[in-house]
Structure 1
Amino acid sequence: MNVESTRGLAPRVSLAAAAMCSLALAACGSTASNAGSDAGGAASTTAAKPAGGTTPWCGTKPITLGIQDGGGLNGWSKSSLQQIQLEAKKCPAIKKTIVVNAGFDLQKAISGTNSLVAQGANAIVIIPDAGGPAELAGIRTATAHGVKVVPWGSNPGGTPGKDYVTYVDWDPTAAGRTWATWLAKSMKEQGNVIYLGGPAGNAVDKGERAGVIETFKQYPKIKLVTGTNPDSWPVTNWDPAQSQKVMSGLLTRYPKIDGILMGDGQSSAAVVKVLKAAGRPIPPVATLEANQVACSWKAEDGTSDSFELATISGRNWMGRLAVRKAVAAVNGIANDEKSIISLPLFEDSVAGGDLAPHCDSTRPPDAYMSNDLLSQETLNGLTGAAAGAE
């Protein structure tokens, strides 16, 4: 990492870790029963002792790790895969990894899961965002074949501990509340808000919108002009090009836009570009982190097109936690780390200081800075892992 990219990182790590501990982890620790209740039920594992060494979740049974992403096409998916692979490298027992992606195609997602099982995967980490609950049948089939499956990043429904090991993610409803609260304050509690979502019916947006809609009930002068149905939204597939097209259409329908909320940072940067090209004011934006949107904010800071920005961690690093839980389950090792984590704001241009948006012009647009900040010690703090676990 270059010198510029280290600006403010050390204090941001301690601040984020402290905030996340207080918001998500109670006393920064959990029992197996607590972790299970957070995720809707924990895996039924034998409380075997770790195999020893510095990677206690790894065990000794040979692992073929299947990795599936319902999308697999955008920067977020690529960063998530990288995080999973980094964690897998810590476990010598992982002899092989098999990677498939569905490109947001449900049939490809289902056949991909079946393919992983057929190729001998005994542990699978999967982001079921090609179809959400529609992918549950394939997950159940894998579990019935003895595979330890840990879905993460998009909730497939079903019963943790029965249909799969556990579900790993942030709390999207809490994220929606956090974004909406920040946006309401930035908008001075009045105005029109545009919400742009990913693929139709995905569980992430459903959770986020539930939190947004719940929060905006406290602000009668704020109107969610793209609708208040928690299961419906303008679909962008979290794709910047599609987001530009959708936003261009919305500009013709809504002459006054006072706030924007969407769960993809790169797509948010594309929306900012559309607003600027149209000569429209850029309102406060609440979104997921991405280097590109932070750099968009930095480029306009101090100009007539300046805008306020708040982001939440891209949480790609949670894929590492999913690996831990899947591999530990194969070995019958109890993993007591938190499965569901409520995340505070990662960047906040209003608060500034350590939370100021961080642009690194030497990094690609789809770089996610929170992944860089995540030392093993910080990961342990976020998830409630035992000190010294790696």
Structure 2
Amino acid sequence: MNTRPVRGVVAVAASLCALVGVSACNVQSDSDSAKSGESASAAKDLKVGWSTIYLTPSWMQQTLKMMQTDVTKLKAAGKVSSFKTFNANGDTSQQISQIRAMIQQKYDVILVDAGSATALNPALEQAVAAGITVVAFDSLPTSKKVVRVGTDQKAWGSMMAEWLAKKLDGKGSIIAMNGPAGVAVSEDRWAGAEAVFKKYPNIKIVSNLHSEYNIAPAAQSFASAYSANPDIDGVFSQGGALSAAALQTLIKDDKKLVPITGENYNGFLKMWKSKQKDGFSSIATAQPNYLGVIALEAAVAKLEGVKVPQDVTVPLPEITDDNLSEYVKTDQPDDSYPINELPQAQIDKLIGK
């Protein structure tokens, strides 16, 4: 989910409902009625529900839009009859209750973006036992009984670290900016990065920060670390808002623009683009929103008899100085996450079709 899984502060239910039109029970309906004159059968007229730990962050909103577009296509093909989003508002216990409600309501497919790697397992396995096809994406549960669609977070960290190490010719001082301590995604990304940095003994990590994936707290943390280490040669950042906070601070204080790794957070991409002429260089990747589409397509394919892999690992995009223009969207908000759509042929290959 970003920067997964924490992409912003979870809003109260009232503000969320105002934003996305969710009913009082936190359910957003794309279509509540099945097609008339058609009976439900495997891979036809499927009743699909998406259980998400939260929906407020822009990444989630973009993911929902992509999924709704795919639902429209699948409806036209006679494969899906209804699609609802169940938002837990950051409450794992509520997410469990919503999953169990979907079991009782006899959903054919449950998609899930998990608020906990372990707490949801019993409910999800109950759904599988009831004959429901369960596909998780983005923030994944540990259960081996559900299909899981995600990216390799350790590879994310190693990609960023390897680029930075080579950019610095294997030597120099850096500040590391990680997500909140204890968050699985942050820990995995840093594990991947740390393994790379250990191969470069002349790279010194002068400060290892932990911050929410939001600009304000990240900027405060970076400013404090930078004031104590003003001669750094680079910044390892594992999240777009963190990268934006670091670059924004350097620009504001008119400091040397050292290399900073990043993510497809549009605010960071915009600054990167604007400072290329001044020699600023970066690399970025993304937790692509189309993970949700792949999960939906995998569920439908599984019900059609396709042998979908239990774990679908989606390649990480690579945004560089050379292809930055293909991603940055100057006409879109800073907190959006621009991503190119994945061709259907690539989706089919990933899910075993």
Q: TM-score range by the shorter chain?
A: 0.7 to 0.9
1:6 match: none
Aligned residue among 358, 363, 373 for 2:332 = 363
For residue 49 of structure 2, give the secondary structure of its aligned residue in structure 1.
strand
Aligned residue among 332, 341, 348 for 2:320 = 348
**What is the CA distance between 1:380 and its match in structure 2?**
4.3
Letter in 1 for 2:299: A
Letter in 1 for 2:84: I
1:111 match: 97
CA contact (8 A) 1:174 1:211 kept: yes
**What is the CA distance between 1:103 and its match in structure 2?**
4.4
Structure 1 runs of 4+ aligned residues shifted over 6 Å read none
Deviations 1:339-365 (A, max 9, x none): 1133352x212xx2x456743322333
How many percent of aligned residue pairs carry the same amino acid? Answer: 25
Aligned residue among 74, 88, 106 for 1:91 = 74
**What is the CA distance between 1:118 and its match in structure 2?**
4.2
Report the CA distance shift for 1:384/1:168 in structure 2 as closer, same or farther (over 3 A).
closer
1:194 match: 175
CA contact (8 A) 1:68 1:126 kept: yes
**Is residue 2:293 matched to residue 1:307?**
no
Deviations 1:170-226 (A, max 9, x none): 211222211111011122222333333345433322322221111111101223345
Deviations 1:269-298 (A, max 9, x none): 233213333444332122221332221112
**What is the CA distance between 1:89 and its match in structure 2?**
2.1
Report the CA distance shift for 1:74/1:258 in structure 2 as closer, same or farther (over 3 A).
farther
1:13 match: none
Report the CA distance shift for 1:141/1:299 in structure 2 as closer, same or farther (over 3 A).
same
2:184 match: 203
Deviations 1:303-340 (A, max 9, x none): 4xx52111114411122111112233345443369711
Matches within 5 A, 1:306-345: 306-335=279-308, 339-343=312-316, 345=318
**Is residue 2:159 matched to residue 1:183?**
no
Report the CA distance shift for 1:261/1:157 in structure 2 as closer, same or farther (over 3 A).
farther
**What is the CA distance between 1:252 and its match in structure 2?**
4.5
Greater RCO, CA 8 A, separation 6+: 1
**Is residue 2:136 matched to residue 1:151?**
yes
Deviations 1:16-65 (A, max 9, x none): xxxxxxxxxxxxxxxxxxxxxxxxxxxxxxxxxxxxxxxxxx95443221
**What is the CA distance between 1:148 and its match in structure 2?**
1.8
CA distance in 2, matches of 1:200, 1:320: 30
For residue 257 of structure 2, give the secondary structure of its aligned residue in structure 1.
coil
CA contact (8 A) 2:180 2:210 kept: no
CA distance in 2, matches of 1:262, 1:70: 25
Report the CA distance shift for 1:72/1:239 in structure 2 as closer, same or farther (over 3 A).
farther
CA contact (8 A) 2:174 2:232 kept: yes
CA contact (8 A) 1:132 1:155 kept: yes
Report the CA distance shift for 1:96/1:310 in structure 2 as closer, same or farther (over 3 A).
same
CA distance in 2, matches of 1:72, 1:369: 18
2:343 match: 375
Gaps of 5+ in 1: 1-57, 228-232
CA distance in 2, matches of 1:256, 1:72: 40
CA distance in 2, matches of 1:157, 1:337: 12
CA contact (8 A) 1:68 1:112 kept: yes
**Is residue 2:93 matched to residue 1:101?**
no
Aligned residue among 289, 292, 316 for 2:267 = 292
1:271 match: 246
CA distance in 2, matches of 1:118, 1:197: 40
Report the CA distance shift for 1:378/1:104 in structure 2 as closer, same or farther (over 3 A).
same
For residue 221 of structure 2, give the secondary structure of its aligned residue in structure 1.
helix
CA distance in 2, matches of 1:239, 1:116: 33
CA distance in 1, matches of 2:165, 2:262: 14
Letter in 2 for 1:139: L
CA distance in 1, matches of 2:219, 2:89: 20
C-alpha RMSD of matched pairs (Å) = 3.0
For residue 68 of structure 1, give the secondary structure of its aligned residue in structure 2.
strand
Deviations 1:222-272 (A, max 9, x none): 233455xxxxx6131x23333334334433554444333334324422332
Letter in 2 for 1:321: I
Gaps of 5+ in 2: 1-40
Report the CA distance shift for 1:355/1:275 in structure 2 as closer, same or farther (over 3 A).
closer
1:31 match: none
CA contact (8 A) 1:314 1:368 kept: no
For residue 193 of structure 1, give the secondary structure of its aligned residue in structure 2.
strand
Letter in 2 for 1:287: G
Letter in 2 for 1:235: S
TM-score w.r.t. the length of structure 1 is 0.69
Letter in 2 for 1:370: I
Aligned residue among 69, 76, 87 for 2:52 = 69
CA distance in 1, matches of 2:89, 2:237: 20
Letter in 2 for 1:146: G
Report the CA distance shift for 1:136/1:200 in structure 2 as closer, same or farther (over 3 A).
farther
How many positions carry a matched residue from both structures? Answer: 310
